[in-house]
């Protein structure tokens, strides 16, 4: 992989070159530039695979460089370098085609290596420390099909035909936990077993190809040229993925999460379907219990929600600057509730906000000591809980002082309920979140708090509902939804149990 570094500060360029052993990572630094004009000249002449591009530079800034790259259709992946206060510029850069972005103040070797892995996957390259994934000509052809670099002649080597083509991506759920079942020397057995079983199913099917992409993720390309009905095509795709899911569950005891693209007709459209499948799969971050995601079912990002999320980030930064820690946690809850309900930020974007906030608290980003031994976060709940714990530690324990005296586990549960009472809560959720058994959660909570977990949750919800019922702008069913009840009837039953009157009576009496 060939890389160009573009930044007007020589020390930054030196720091990037010294951050990691680029040669060991299979990267050749083909040059560096101090402004946009020089950067464009080198991109055209040297044709790098990836450019690290500063946003703010003299003569021509990074945004203008991105515009020129887009206009000239230059085949290069761009990763933007910014400060934490450049969020508006970063948004514009992403719209112009930037692949990712780093905050220069807290950029570290782990982020750089992760970026390289991400780009390798997109380019169909293998990491230098592992045997190449592309082991035969057909796999090279399929990689080219996904990336839009293949030719029609090459595709004759595959079983695919044009007509109702779907791309399906799947990954192993809780991959790091599953991997712990194997010794270090036998971890490759997992990948080989999955590949062999999927190949066995695929070999009996027409117009289908299986392609392992990384240790964690694989692709299925399925065409349905003989089926004229879109419903029949999707039914066939669903049947295939269900058989693969059930086989892996039965024989290897693993769950897989799948992202299914919309249909496309021509081979030239397959890269679009690949992006759709990636986008569909990304929604597992917010829905960890769901195992299959369809691109056609996903809602578009709301510009209004993105703007509100940005506003909350600015409010959190102001609260930290003012040492208003309770205000910070309150706005954090609003931000988390917004992005969870609107799904307007992806996993990488969410984590970058958390890390930017950690940086503002006085230390450079996350550390293993702070966040524990994570191989990565499986979903938003895990990420939110881990960062909230660190925030409390960083802010000197000033938050939620009313929970002092309880064990750490009970404090974490109480804090989570306080900020997520409007969500669906269960013993299983808390058990998975804090890596303990459901029975232990139930027993410890009752011993320390003096009441059952769900009595506590319902009591909190009813108290929140009382305040909302005094506001006649909200209908009763809206109040029910805002405090975590899925329907008005259940809300009325629980409300009457704790207050002795119905929600309507309470409103009339208190109004």
Tokens found for residue 329:
């946690």
CATH number at residue 244: 3.30.70.270
Phi, psi of 343, deg, nearest 5: 50, 45
Element (H, E) at 3: strand 2-6
pTM of this prediction?
0.59
Count the helices and strands in the chain (H runs, E runs): 22, 10
**Do 415 and 311 fall within a single domain?**
yes
Q: Is residue 349 part of a domain?
A: yes
C-alpha span between 127 and 113 (Å, rounded)? 10
Q: Which domain holds residue 22?
A: 2-123
- The pLDDT of residue 257: 95
**Do 464 and 333 fall within a single domain?**
no
Q: Which residues pair with 293 in a beta bridge?
A: 259
**Do 106 and 159 fall within a single domain?**
no
Asked whether 171 and 281 are in contact (CB, 8 A), the reply is yes
C-alpha span between 271 and 219 (Å, rounded)? 12
What pLDDT, in 10s, does the model give residues 346-378?
888 898 899 888 888 865 444 444 555 444 688
Q: Is residue 128 part of a domain?
A: no
Q: Is residue 157 part of a domain?
A: yes
**Do 198 and 172 fall within a single domain?**
yes
**Do 144 and 293 fall within a single domain?**
yes
C-alpha span between 507 and 493 (Å, rounded)? 15
**Do 360 and 488 fall within a single domain?**
no
**Do 156 and 271 fall within a single domain?**
yes
Tokens found for residue 485:
């009840």
C-alpha span between 262 and 249 (Å, rounded)? 26
Q: Is residue 129 part of a domain?
A: no
Cβ-proximal residues to 151 (8 Å cutoff; 6+ apart), any chain: 144
- The pLDDT of residue 256: 95
Tokens found for residue 443:
């027993």
CA-derived radius of gyration, the chain: 26
**Do 32 and 107 fall within a single domain?**
yes
3-state secondary structure 446-499: HHHHCCCHHHHHHHHHHHHHHHHHCCCCCCHHHHHHHCCCCCHHHHHHHHHHHH
Q: Which residues pair with 212 in a beta bridge?
A: 218
Buried b (16+ CB within 10 A) or exposed e, 214-243: ebebbbbbbbbeebeeeeebbebbbebbee
DSSP 8-state code for residue 209: E
CATH number at residue 468: 1.10.10.60
SS3 content of the chain, % helix, strand, coil (to 5): 55, 10, 30
Q: Is residue 132 part of a domain?
A: no
- How many C-beta atoms lie closer than 10 Å to residue 460's C-beta? 16
Q: Is residue 461 part of a domain?
A: yes
Buried b (16+ CB within 10 A) or exposed e, 381-416: bbbbbbbbbbbbebbeeebbeebeebeebbbbbbbb
Q: Distance from CA of residue 119 to its chain's centroid?
A: 16
**Do 471 and 417 fall within a single domain?**
no
Please classify residue 322 by burial: count the beta carbons closer than 10 Å to its beta carbon, then call 0-12 exposed, 13-18 middle and 19+ buried. exposed
Asked whether 62 and 6 are in contact (CB, 8 A), the reply is yes
Sheet-wide strand order for 208-212: 208-212, 217-222, 166-172, 256-260, 292-294
Q: Is residue 131 part of a domain?
A: no
Q: How many domains does the chain have?
A: 4
C-alpha span between 167 and 275 (Å, rounded)? 9
**Do 260 and 278 fall within a single domain?**
yes
Element (H, E) at 37: helix 36-46
- The pLDDT of residue 416: 85
**Do 230 and 105 fall within a single domain?**
no
**Do 143 and 291 fall within a single domain?**
yes
Q: Nearest Cα to 32, choosing from 45, 18, 17, 21? A: 17
CATH number at residue 104: 3.40.50.2300
Name the stretches of the chain with pLDDT < 70.
Answer: 11, 15, 18-19, 84-87, 105-109, 123-136, 184-187, 362-376, 396-405, 408, 435, 511
Last residue of a domain, one of 429, 453, 477: 453
Q: Is residue 493 part of a domain?
A: yes
C-alpha span between 144 and 166 (Å, rounded)? 16
What pLDDT, in 10s, does the model give residues 187-211?
677 887 888 889 888 988 999 999 9
Q: Which residues pair with 273 in a beta bridge?
A: none
């Amino acid at each position: 992989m060939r890389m160009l570094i573009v930044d007007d500060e020589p020390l930054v360029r030196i720091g990037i070159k010294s951050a990691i052993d680029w040669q060991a990572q299979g990267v050749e630094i083909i040059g560096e530039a101090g402004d946009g004009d020089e950067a464009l000249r080198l991109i055209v002449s040297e044709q790098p695979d990836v450019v690290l591009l500063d946003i703010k530079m003299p003569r021509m800034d990074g945004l203008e460089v991105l515009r020129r790259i887009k206009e000239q259709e230059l085949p290069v992946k761009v990763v933007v370098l910014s400060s934490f206060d450049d969020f508006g510029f970063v948004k514009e850069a992403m719209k112009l085609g930037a692949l990712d972005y780093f905050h220069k103040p807290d950029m570290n070797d782990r982020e750089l290596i992760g970026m390289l892995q991400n780009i390798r996957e997109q380019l169909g390259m293998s990491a230098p420390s592992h045997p190449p994934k592309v082991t035969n000509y057909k796999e090279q052809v399929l990689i080219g099909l996904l990336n839009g670099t293949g030719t029609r002649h090459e595709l004759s080597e595959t079983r695919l035909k044009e007509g109702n083509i779907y791309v399906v991506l799947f990954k192993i759920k809780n991959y790091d936990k599953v991997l712990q079942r194997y010794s270090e020397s036998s971890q490759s057995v997992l990948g080989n077993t999955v590949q062999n079983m999927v190949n066995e199913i695929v070999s009996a099917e027409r117009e289908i190809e299986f392609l392992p992409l990384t240790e964690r993720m694989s692709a299925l390309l399925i065409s349905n040229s003989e089926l004229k009905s879109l419903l029949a095509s999707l039914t066939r795709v669903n049947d295939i993925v269900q058989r693969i899911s059930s086989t892996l569950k039965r024989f290897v005891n693993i769950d897989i999460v799948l992202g299914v693209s919309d249909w496309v007709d021509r081979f030239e459209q397959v890269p679009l379907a690949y992006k759709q499948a990636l986008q569909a799969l990304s929604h597992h971050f917010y829905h960890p219990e769901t195992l299959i995601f369809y691109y056609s079912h996903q809602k578009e990002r709301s510009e209004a929600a993105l703007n509100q999320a940005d506003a909350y980030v600015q409010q959190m930064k102001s609260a930290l600057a003012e040492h208003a820690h309770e205000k910070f946690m309150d706005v954090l809850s609003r931000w988390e509730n917004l992005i969870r309900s609107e799904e307007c930020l992806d996993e990488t974007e969410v984590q970058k906000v958390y890390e930017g906030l950690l940086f503002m608290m006085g230390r450079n980003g996350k550390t293993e000591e702070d966040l524990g031994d994570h191989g990565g976060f499986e979903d938003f709940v895990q990420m939110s809980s881990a960062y909230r714990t660190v925030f409390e530690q960083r802010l000197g324990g000033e938050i939620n002082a009313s929970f002092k005296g309880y064990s750490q586990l009970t404090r974490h549960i109480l804090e989570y309920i306080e900020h997520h009472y409007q969500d669906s809560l269960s013993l299983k959720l808390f058990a998975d979140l804090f890596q303990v058994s459901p029975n232990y959660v139930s027993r410890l909570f009752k011993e320390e708090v003096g009441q059952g977990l769900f009595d506590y949750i319902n009591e909190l919800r009813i108290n929140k509902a009382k305040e909302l019922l005094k506001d006649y702008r909200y209908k009763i069913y809206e109040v029910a939804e805002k405090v975590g009840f899925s329907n008005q009837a259940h809300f009325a039953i629980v409300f009457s149990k704790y207050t002795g009157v119905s929600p309507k009576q309470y409103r009339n009496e208190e109004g």
